[in-house]
Each structure stands twice: as C-alpha cells, then as structure tokens.
Amino acid sequence: MAKLNTNGNAYTIIYAAVIVVIVAFLLAFVASALKPTQDDNVAIDKKQQILSSLNIRGVEKSAVDATYKSVIVNDAIYGTDPTTPTNNGEAKDQAGFKVEGKNITPDNRPFYVAEVDGAKKYVIPVTGAGLWGGLWGYVALNEDCETVYGTYFSHESETAGLGARITEQWFQDSFQGKKLYAEGNEDVVLSVVKKGKEGSMSPDNYVNGVTGATLTSNGVNDMIQEDLKSYQDILKAQKK
Amino acid sequence: MSKLFSKENGEVFTNPLNINNPIAVQVLGICSALAVTSQLKPAIVMGLSVTVITAFSNVIISLLRKTIPNRIRIIVQLVVVAALVTIVSNILKAYVYDVSVQLSVYVGLIITNCILMGRLEAFAMQNGPWESFLDGVGNGLGYAIILVVVGFVRELLGFGSVFGFQIIPDSWLLENGGLYMHNGMMTMPAMALILLACVIWVHRAYNKDIE
C-alpha cells in the first residue's frame, strides 16, 4: 500500500468528514433503536409516582402498567372551564398523563380520577422549585376534595440527606389525613412548617418540614399551596 | 498466545490498578469521583461505564492511529469518546433507568474525564489495539476501585447501609433512643475529597517509591 500523506489538507478534511458521517449514522441508529424502551421507562416511572401518591408503593416494574390501569379511572385534561374536561381520557394514559409538568398551565391541567378500594380519589400533579432545582409531585385527595389521601414528591437535585429526604415515605405519609382548608374557610392553608413555628394553626392543616432543609420544605409548601389553589375550581365542580 | 499475555502486557494491565493508578497517583478524573460516590451502586455503574468507554475508545483510536491526521487528532479522539459515551448513556437509560436518573449528567461528563483523553493521547496513539485494550480496562478498573472504596465508606457512614441494605439497625439511632447518628457530612461531595485524600495517603505510605 502506498504511504498516504496523512498531513495533507485534502486528506484531513475528507477524514474529518467521513468520521463525522459515520458517527452521525451510528448515533442516530442507536438513539432511534432504544427510544421506545426509554420512553417506556419514563412512562413506567411516572405511573409509579402517581401510584405512590395513592399509597400503592413497591409495585414490581412489570406490574406497574396493569396496576395503574386498574386504579386510574380517567386522566382528564381541564381547560379554563372547570366543569367539563377537554377530553374523555378513556385510555387512562393518553390524555393528562401525556402532559409534562412544565406544560401545565391554567388552560391545560391534567387531573386524575382514581378508584382505590371502591372509593374515589383525585390526584393533582404539582410542580415547584426547591433549593437547587425543580420539585414535583402528586397529591391525592379523598372524595370530599379536602382531605389528603397520600402524596408523592421528588426533586431534581436537592441536598442528599437533607432536602432529598422529601422523597422518603415518612415525610410523604405525614400528609395523610391533613385538610386543605381551615374550618369555615375556602383558602388553601395546608402547609409545611418548621417545628415550633406552627403558631395557632390547627394540627389538621400542617405537617412538619424536614429538619435542616428549610428551603426545600418551603419549596414543597409553596408548590402545594399554589398548585392546589389553581385546581380549586375543578375540585369545587367535582364536589357538586 | 504467549505474546498476548506477555509480562509487558500484564504490566500494562496491572500498573494502573496500583502503582500508576489514575486517581491515586495521577490524580485525574476526580471530579466525577466526588460526585457519584455517595452510594455504592452508582459508583460501581460509573466505574464500569468508564472502564467500557476507556477500553473501547482505546481500541478504536489504536486501530485508527496510523490514519489519523496529526493536526486533528484530538478532535478525532473527542468524536470517538463522545460517540461511545452517548451510546452508553442511551443504553443505561433503556435498561437501568433508575441508575441513569441517579447518575444524571455525570455519564455525559465522562466525555470530559481526563483519564480518557490522557490514555488516548499517551497510550493508544502509540500502541497496538490489544495493548490499548488492556491499558483501557486497567485504567478504568483502577478508577473504579477508588470509586468503590470511597462509595463504600460514604454509604456506610452517611446512610448506614451498604448497597442499599441497612447495616446499622434503626434502633441504634438517637431518635429511636440509641447513641448513634448518621454522618450527614458523608453525603456531601466535600467529604469525598477528604476520603480520597485518605486513600491517596494510605496508598503512598505503602508505595514509598512513587514520590
């Protein structure tokens, strides 16, 4: 084989072009071949989160889809009209389920209706900001649209061992049975407060934050209050 | 066959595990060593990912080494590494989703891991594919060992568990009437730096000739 001049301009340019084209094809192939599996994983993860908010935890990965479909009745999307959803949500994971947290706006609100042990539950997605990054979660309410049935929270990058503890079950379970509203009032008052700062609040209306993670706890507090407030009209319409 | 497993090739493989360890001796790639070692599982996955990527990028570059134009060799190396990293990150997302969530951006950041570019430039550009493969695996494992040691200590002291299994019983904890408390500092990246320094200290104490 004749010795190639590997330092020539033409050779260098052609070499770079060929390498880039090969790599581009390879990556495009891998990405599109694995895309369906990856999307499935993301969907299963989201279903697991919603089930967790309904206190159904530790479901095997292979059983998540079936459990989700047996529990969730409807994944409606509500626009500005709180009485009728803009879709029928029959497939349970085709409508509201497809709305990503960042796309939730007042005229695009996913609202899950679930049935656990014969009782109706409503699941509301919430999103907010913690100390370092985004927070999100789901709040499940009983049929009275006021009592919390269960919650699930997760985070992008809160401090491990401190703020990241909002993902632990003891914190999420502490919301169970709490009420959104104070007696005879219609403002959402459910709060996360520092131990000792409860003031005159009824024990029904607050949970204690995570020790050493005040800013993350405040983030959870704001996220719950603001997002539940924006769903209040739907909840009222459901109650009637 | 005897040539494939000759003494020199053996050294190519074992040197980076000990006397030429990329982290403990060359102090390369420590940024990711700090970030992913708060628990054992991500540390191991990260170690294996780096091992696979170093080994295969070493082989590819070694095969191409005679054709790569000298002026753009770093770019070619980078393209090869970036392509492999993207593939590995896609595979992790598809098959071990929860681990890929935990590793988040750090898999992508393997591209900038100094160990990789260092091995490509210093070894694969001058040696054959088999030696380069051994060198890549050796360096990857040398990196993985340190990650596992740091991850083990941090998970044990920070969370009281090893590999997610509870080692320190809950009844020992202060809040349950015991006398023990998890060391929250261990979960912070800063402690990894201190542990890493301890590892380097012990390593040097045993290998006086390194200095």
pLDDT higher for B1 or A172? A172
Mutation test of the interface with chain A: which of B79, B81, B157, B186, choosing the one with the most A Cβ atoms within 10 A? B79
- Quick check: A86 and A77 in contact, CB under 8 A? yes
pLDDT in the model for residue B210: 66
pLDDT in the model for residue A218: 93
All residues of chain B having their beta carbon less than 8 Å from the beta carbon of residue A161 are: 158-159, 182, 184, 187-188
All residues of chain A having their beta carbon less than 8 Å from the beta carbon of residue B101 are: 45
Alpha-carbon distances, residue B186 vs A52, A131, A169, B127, B160 (angstroms): 29, 20, 22, 41, 11
All residues of chain B having their beta carbon less than 8 Å from the beta carbon of residue A169 are: none
pLDDT higher for A81 or A23? A23
Asked if B67 and A38 come within 8 Å (Cβ–Cβ), the reply is: no
Q: pLDDT tens digits, residue range A131-142?
A: 888 999 999 999
Query: 3-state DSSP call for residue A78?
Result: strand
Distance CA B86, CA A42 (A): 18
Asked if A6 and B75 come within 8 Å (Cβ–Cβ), the reply is: no
Band of residue A94 on the pLDDT scale cut at 50, 70, 90: confident
pLDDT in the model for residue B211: 60
Average pLDDT, chain A: 88
Whether the predicted interface score ipTM is above 0.90:
no
pLDDT in the model for residue B3: 67
pLDDT higher for B105 or A148? A148
Asked if B67 and A15 come within 8 Å (Cβ–Cβ), the reply is: yes
In this structure, the number of other CB atoms found within 10 A of the CB of residue A10 comes to: 8
Q: pLDDT tens digits, residue range B55-97?
A: 999 999 999 988 888 888 899 999 999 999 999 888 888 888 8
Q: Determine which of A128-132, B18-22, B45-49 has the lowest per-residue pLDDT on average.
A: B18-22
pLDDT in the model for residue A1: 47
Does residue A91 register a pLDDT over 90? no
Average pLDDT, chain B: 84
pLDDT in the model for residue A164: 82
In this structure, the number of other CB atoms found within 10 A of the CB of residue B204 comes to: 14
Asked if B68 and A16 come within 8 Å (Cβ–Cβ), the reply is: no
Strands A119-129 and B165-166 come out as unpaired
Once rounded to an integer, what is the mean pLDDT over residues A164-179?
A: 91
- Quick check: A238 and A122 in contact, CB under 8 A? yes
Q: Is A160 on the interface with B (CB under 8 A)?
A: yes
Nearest to A154 by CA among A174, A128, A180, A178: A128
Give one word for A210, left, alpha or beta, with left for phi > 0 and alpha for psi -120 to 50: beta
Q: What is the DSSP string of B46-101?
A: HHHHHHHHHHHHHHHHHHHTTTS-GGGHHHHHHHHHHHHHHHHHHHHHHH-HHHHH
Distance CA A141, CA A236 (A): 13
Q: pLDDT tens digits, residue range B117-159?
A: 888 988 999 999 999 999 999 999 999 999 999 999 998 888 8
Edge-first strand listing for the sheet containing A119-129: A72-78, A109-116, A119-129, A134-141, A148-155
pLDDT in the model for residue B104: 67
Distance CA A153, CA B110 (A): 29
Residue B53 CB-density burial (10 A; 0-12 exposed, 13-18 middle, 19+ buried): buried
pLDDT in the model for residue A59: 86
Percent pLDDT > 90 in chain B is 23
A231 Cβ contact partners less than 8 Å away, ≥ 6 residues apart: A109, A111, A124
Q: Is A200 on the interface with B (CB under 8 A)?
A: no
Q: Is A14 on the interface with B (CB under 8 A)?
A: no
Q: Which amino acid would we find at residue A177?
A: G
pLDDT in the model for residue A195: 82
Does residue B173 register a pLDDT over 90? no
Distance CA A237, CA B70 (A): 71
pLDDT higher for A219 or B30? A219
Band of residue A4 on the pLDDT scale cut at 50, 70, 90: low
Distance CA B117, CA B26 (A): 13
pLDDT in the model for residue A107: 84
> What would the two tokens of residue B92 be?
């992790």
Q: Is A81 on the interface with B (CB under 8 A)?
A: no
